[in-house]
Structure 1
Protein backbone atom coordinates (compact mmCIF):
# COMPACT_ATOMS: atom_id res chain seq x y z
CA UNK A 1 0.00 0.00 0.00
CA UNK A 2 1.28 3.45 -0.84
CA UNK A 3 1.04 5.81 2.10
CA UNK A 4 1.90 9.30 3.24
CA UNK A 5 3.76 9.56 6.54
CA UNK A 6 3.51 12.44 8.99
CA UNK A 7 5.48 12.95 12.18
CA UNK A 8 5.16 15.02 15.32
CA UNK A 9 7.85 15.97 17.82
CA UNK A 10 7.35 14.59 21.31
CA UNK A 11 9.25 15.00 24.59
CA UNK A 12 12.90 14.03 24.92
CA UNK A 13 13.69 14.27 21.20
CA UNK A 14 11.27 11.50 20.23
CA UNK A 15 8.70 11.41 17.42
CA UNK A 16 5.30 9.89 16.79
CA UNK A 17 4.30 8.87 13.27
CA UNK A 18 0.91 8.95 11.58
CA UNK A 19 0.33 7.05 8.35
CA UNK A 20 -2.58 7.57 5.96
CA UNK A 21 -3.23 6.05 2.54
CA UNK A 22 -1.54 8.08 -0.19
CA UNK A 23 -3.22 11.42 -1.00
CA UNK A 24 -5.84 11.09 1.76
CA UNK A 25 -6.43 14.05 4.05
CA UNK A 26 -5.52 13.80 7.70
CA UNK A 27 -8.41 12.59 9.83
CA UNK A 28 -10.30 15.35 11.62
CA UNK A 29 -9.32 14.07 15.08
CA UNK A 30 -5.63 14.76 14.38
CA UNK A 31 -5.76 17.93 12.26
CA UNK A 32 -5.46 20.23 15.29
CA UNK A 33 -2.08 18.71 16.25
CA UNK A 34 1.35 19.61 14.91
CA UNK A 35 1.85 16.89 12.29
CA UNK A 36 4.33 17.64 9.51
CA UNK A 37 4.75 15.65 6.31
CA UNK A 38 7.69 13.27 6.63
CA UNK A 39 7.38 11.11 3.48
CA UNK A 40 4.96 10.87 0.58
CA UNK A 41 3.98 7.90 -1.56
CA UNK A 42 6.01 5.35 0.40
CA UNK A 43 5.19 1.69 -0.25
CA UNK A 44 4.60 -0.21 3.00
CA UNK A 45 3.16 -3.67 3.60
CA UNK A 46 -0.08 -3.20 5.49
CA UNK A 47 -0.18 -6.95 6.18
CA UNK A 48 2.97 -6.74 8.34
CA UNK A 49 2.48 -7.26 12.08
CA UNK A 50 4.30 -4.00 12.75
CA UNK A 51 6.25 -1.23 11.12
CA UNK A 52 9.20 -1.10 13.54
CA UNK A 53 10.83 1.93 11.93
CA UNK A 54 7.68 3.93 12.76
CA UNK A 55 6.77 2.22 16.04
CA UNK A 56 3.39 1.19 14.63
CA UNK A 57 1.75 -2.06 15.74
CA UNK A 58 -0.86 -3.84 13.56
CA UNK A 59 -0.84 -1.19 10.81
CA UNK A 60 -3.36 -2.96 8.57
CA UNK A 61 -5.91 -3.28 11.33
CA UNK A 62 -5.43 0.35 12.37
CA UNK A 63 -5.88 1.51 8.76
CA UNK A 64 -9.07 -0.55 8.41
CA UNK A 65 -10.51 0.49 11.77
CA UNK A 66 -9.55 4.18 11.86
CA UNK A 67 -8.38 5.10 8.36
CA UNK A 68 -4.90 5.82 9.71
CA UNK A 69 -2.16 4.10 11.70
CA UNK A 70 -0.28 5.80 14.52
CA UNK A 71 2.74 5.19 16.76
CA UNK A 72 1.81 3.87 20.18
CA UNK A 73 2.98 5.97 23.13
CA UNK A 74 5.55 3.44 24.32
CA UNK A 75 6.97 3.06 20.77
CA UNK A 76 7.87 6.70 20.06
CA UNK A 77 11.10 6.87 18.04
CA UNK A 78 14.21 8.99 18.54
CA UNK A 79 14.68 11.73 15.98
Structure 2
Protein backbone atom coordinates (compact mmCIF):
# COMPACT_ATOMS: atom_id res chain seq x y z
CA UNK A 1 0.00 0.00 0.00
CA UNK A 2 1.11 3.55 -0.55
CA UNK A 3 0.64 6.16 2.14
CA UNK A 4 0.99 9.89 2.54
CA UNK A 5 2.51 10.77 5.92
CA UNK A 6 1.84 14.04 7.75
CA UNK A 7 3.37 15.37 10.97
CA UNK A 8 2.51 17.99 13.57
CA UNK A 9 4.53 19.29 16.49
CA UNK A 10 3.53 18.45 20.04
CA UNK A 11 4.07 20.63 23.10
CA UNK A 12 6.97 18.50 24.37
CA UNK A 13 9.03 19.00 21.21
CA UNK A 14 8.13 15.63 19.68
CA UNK A 15 5.90 14.99 16.66
CA UNK A 16 2.66 13.11 16.01
CA UNK A 17 2.26 11.39 12.65
CA UNK A 18 -0.78 10.68 10.50
CA UNK A 19 -0.78 8.06 7.73
CA UNK A 20 -3.44 8.35 5.02
CA UNK A 21 -3.77 6.14 1.94
CA UNK A 22 -2.13 7.87 -1.03
CA UNK A 23 -4.05 10.77 -2.58
CA UNK A 24 -6.83 10.77 0.04
CA UNK A 25 -7.50 14.01 1.85
CA UNK A 26 -6.68 14.37 5.52
CA UNK A 27 -9.79 13.20 7.40
CA UNK A 28 -12.14 15.98 8.46
CA UNK A 29 -11.61 15.33 12.18
CA UNK A 30 -7.89 16.00 11.72
CA UNK A 31 -8.02 19.07 9.49
CA UNK A 32 -8.30 21.51 12.39
CA UNK A 33 -4.65 20.91 13.32
CA UNK A 34 -1.41 21.97 11.68
CA UNK A 35 -0.43 18.84 9.73
CA UNK A 36 2.40 19.25 7.23
CA UNK A 37 3.58 16.76 4.63
CA UNK A 38 6.36 14.47 5.84
CA UNK A 39 6.34 11.95 2.95
CA UNK A 40 4.25 11.30 -0.16
CA UNK A 41 3.48 7.90 -1.68
CA UNK A 42 5.48 5.95 0.91
CA UNK A 43 5.44 2.34 -0.25
CA UNK A 44 4.60 0.07 2.69
CA UNK A 45 4.29 -3.72 2.34
CA UNK A 46 0.69 -4.87 2.89
CA UNK A 47 1.74 -7.18 5.73
CA UNK A 48 3.49 -4.36 7.63
CA UNK A 49 1.43 -3.49 10.71
CA UNK A 50 3.70 -0.95 12.39
CA UNK A 51 5.46 2.12 11.01
CA UNK A 52 8.21 2.26 13.60
CA UNK A 53 9.92 5.36 12.24
CA UNK A 54 6.63 7.24 12.70
CA UNK A 55 5.56 5.46 15.92
CA UNK A 56 2.32 4.26 14.32
CA UNK A 57 1.13 0.88 15.66
CA UNK A 58 -1.70 -1.29 14.29
CA UNK A 59 -1.47 0.35 10.88
CA UNK A 60 -3.86 -1.94 8.99
CA UNK A 61 -6.38 -2.08 11.83
CA UNK A 62 -6.47 1.72 12.19
CA UNK A 63 -6.85 2.28 8.44
CA UNK A 64 -9.63 -0.32 8.22
CA UNK A 65 -11.47 1.23 11.17
CA UNK A 66 -10.97 4.97 10.57
CA UNK A 67 -9.51 5.36 7.08
CA UNK A 68 -6.22 6.63 8.52
CA UNK A 69 -3.66 5.71 11.19
CA UNK A 70 -1.85 7.91 13.65
CA UNK A 71 0.64 8.03 16.47
CA UNK A 72 -1.11 7.25 19.77
CA UNK A 73 -1.90 10.25 21.96
CA UNK A 74 -0.12 10.09 25.31
Q: TM-score normalised to the size of structure 2?
A: 0.91
- Pairwise CA distance, 1:56: 0.8
Partners of 1:9 and 1:64 lie apart in 2 by 26
What is the rounded CA distance, in whole Å, between the counterparts of 2:25 and 2:56 in structure 1? 19
Tell me, which stretches of 5 or more residues in structure 2 are unaligned? none
Give structure 1 stretches of 5+ with no counterpart.
75-79
Aligned residues between the structures: 74
Superposition TM-score, scaled by structure 1 size: 0.86
CA distance in 1, matches of 2:36, 2:30: 11
Cα distance in structure 1, aligned partners of 2:46 and 2:65: 13
Structure 1 segments, 4+ long, off by >2 Å, are: 45-49
Residue 66 of structure 1 is matched in structure 2 by: 66
Q: RMSD between aligned alpha carbons?
A: 1.2
Mapping for residues 1-79 of structure 1, pairs under 5 Å: 1-74=1-74
Is the contact made by 1:2 and 1:43 (CA closer than 8 Å) also made in structure 2? yes
Q: Which has the higher strand share?
A: 1
Q: Write the distance in 2 (CA, Å) between the matches of 1:29 and 1:3.
A: 18
